[in-house]
Amino acid sequence: MFITITKWIDNEWNDVSAARKKIYGSKAKFTDNLFKVDGFQRYLNTLKGLELDRQQMNSLATAYFRFGRATADVIHMRLAWCCRDLNIELPAVAGCLTEEYWTNFFKKKRINVIVN
Q: Is the pLDDT of residue 100 over 50?
A: yes
For the chain, give every domain's residue range: 5-108
Q: Which of 70, 80, 78, 81 is nearest to 106 (CA)?
A: 70
pLDDT mean across residues, the chain? 91
The pTM assigned to this predicted structure is 0.87
Least confident of 3-7, 39-43, 74-78: 39-43
Tell me the pLDDT band of 112, cut-offs 50, 70 and 90.
Answer: low
